[in-house]
Amino acid sequence: MSNQTLDTGPVPEVFFDQALGDLQVRGWEEPRLSIQAEPETLQLEQQDDVIHLSCQGDCDLRLPVGATLRIGVVNGDLSLKLLEDQLFIGEVRGDLFLRNIAAAQIQTVHGDLAVKNASDDLSIDLVHGDADIRQVAGQCVVNEVLGNLDLASVDGDIQVGVRGNARLRLDRLSGSEYKIQAGGDIYCYLPDDADAQISLTSEGERIKVRLPQGSKTFPQAQYKLTLGEGAASLTLIASGAVYLFVEKSGWSETEPAHSFPGAMPGNYGEQIAQQIEAQMQAQMAEITRRLNEQMEHLTDRLGKIGLTTEESERIVEQARRASEREASRAQEKLRRAQEKLERKLEAQRRRAEQHAQMADRRSRRHTWSFEWPAPATPPASSKDASTEEERLMILRMLEQKKITLEQADQLLSALEGDE
């Protein structure tokens, strides 16, 4: 892949009409675009600060953080980070990853969706796979998710439709209206200082409410309650069961909202993700440092052997391009390792969620009053518990920098092979 640079202002308007492969976009403080792609696959037009791009293969794009970005169709996966202006996405035929963005409007994602740290409103029409959305500073509207939904920490209103199960972790209710409809079960976690009128509907006629005073299961289709003065409106409608857990304030940051054997702490996956990101940045910084040192040494050596300035510059430029290609391949390898390990973390979380669901199904023959203690969770098999403990040990070693990202991936893969 070759690198091409275009000078722009700090807030260009960029149209990426089509990418037939994977597309990675990252914002930076430089007033220019940097494009890495095979030259024969790239089409580019620039008129002042309006730029149109298309790529017949994979592409890695760097652009000013203040750029407005409009993406038409991406045939592979799409990853976007560090963008501070509006983002428009038409169709992604693979997976979509968004991190540290502003307002975003998304039409269709055929794979899975992962969003983290959106500083404004988030609007999504259709996700064919699963959706994982965390930390949205504005309102969140998701018309339809065909898989499962995991939604956490949204400051504004929420309106969501999901065909599978939905898990909501709302550490505050700063909006006014929340409506979630699911074709499966709904698990909703609220802080004990929540202020809302709550309406629960279960077509499966199973509603479980756990308050600080105790738990109660209602074998009925509807149930309503009010927390605080009822300032916000929360409506949960499920074809399956509805589970409402009202926990003490701060559960989302300090402890799991729902505990079961082998589960990771509520913020443990986030800690590991941050550690992975830090390791990637450190490794890329080291690669860049070595590249600069090599170029400096090469320039000194060429100057000592008596080559002309033009000859020296030509050789240095060739060496730099070769080194940049090598660095780009290393970066891509690290990125894929990061995504692979993050998928394994998500699989670990889902396995833990399944253990919780199984435990709850075992307890359905009981009826709980607000005065009775909650039942003990049935223990997992010794093999399952051992495997989960080994996974957590590997992730803790990664967090403590005792092993590298690549070593963690190898250990987890070997562990999966033993199951």
Last residue of a domain, one of 111, 138, 153: 111
Write down the pLDDT at residue 343: 65
**DSSP-derived 3-state class of residue 140:** strand
pLDDT (tens digit per residue) in 191-250: 988 999 999 999 999 999 998 888 889 999 999 999 989 999 999 999 999 999 997 654
Place of tokens 């203690």: 373
Domain extent, residue 33, equals 1-111
Whether residue 93 is contained in a domain is answered as yes
Whether 223 maps to a domain, the answer reads no
pLDDT at residue number 379: 46
Residue 131 lies in a domain: no
Considering 63, 78, 111, which residue would you say is the last residue of a domain? Answer: 111
Run of H or E residues at 63? strand 59-64
State residue 310's pLDDT score. 72
| Phi, psi (deg, nearest 5) at residue 343 | -65, -35
Position 309 in a domain = yes
Determine the 3-state secondary structure of 337 from DSSP: helix
**Position 393 in a domain:** yes
- pLDDT tens, the chain, 419 aa long: 678 888 998 999 999 999 999 999 999 999 999 999 998 999 999 998 899 999 999 999 999 999 999 999 999 999 999 999 989 999 999 999 999 999 999 999 999 999 999 999 999 999 999 999 999 999 999 999 999 999 999 999 999 999 999 999 988 888 899 999 999 999 999 998 899 999 999 999 999 999 888 888 999 999 999 998 999 999 999 999 999 999 765 444 433 434 333 334 444 455 555 555 566 556 666 666 666 666 666 666 666 666 666 766 677 677 767 666 666 666 666 666 666 666 666 666 666 656 555 655 544 443 333 333 343 344 444 455 555 566 666 666 666 666 666 667 767 666 666 55
Give the pLDDT confidence score for residue 212 in this predicted structure. 85
pLDDT (0 to 100) of residue 214: 85
pLDDT of residue 331: 64
- Evaluate whether residue 283 is within a structural domain: yes
Domain finish residue from 111, 126, 149: 111
How high is the pLDDT of residue 100? 93
Is the residue at 394 inside a domain? yes
Q: Which two tokens stand for residue 28?
A: 């930076």
DSSP string, 167-194: EEE-S---SSEEEEEESS-EEEEEETT-
Instruction: Decide the pairing of beta strands 32-37 and 2-7.
Output: antiparallel
pLDDT at 350: 63
Is 84 part of a structural domain of the chain?
Answer: yes
Q: How many domains does the chain have?
A: 2
Alpha carbon 385 to chain centroid, angstroms:
27
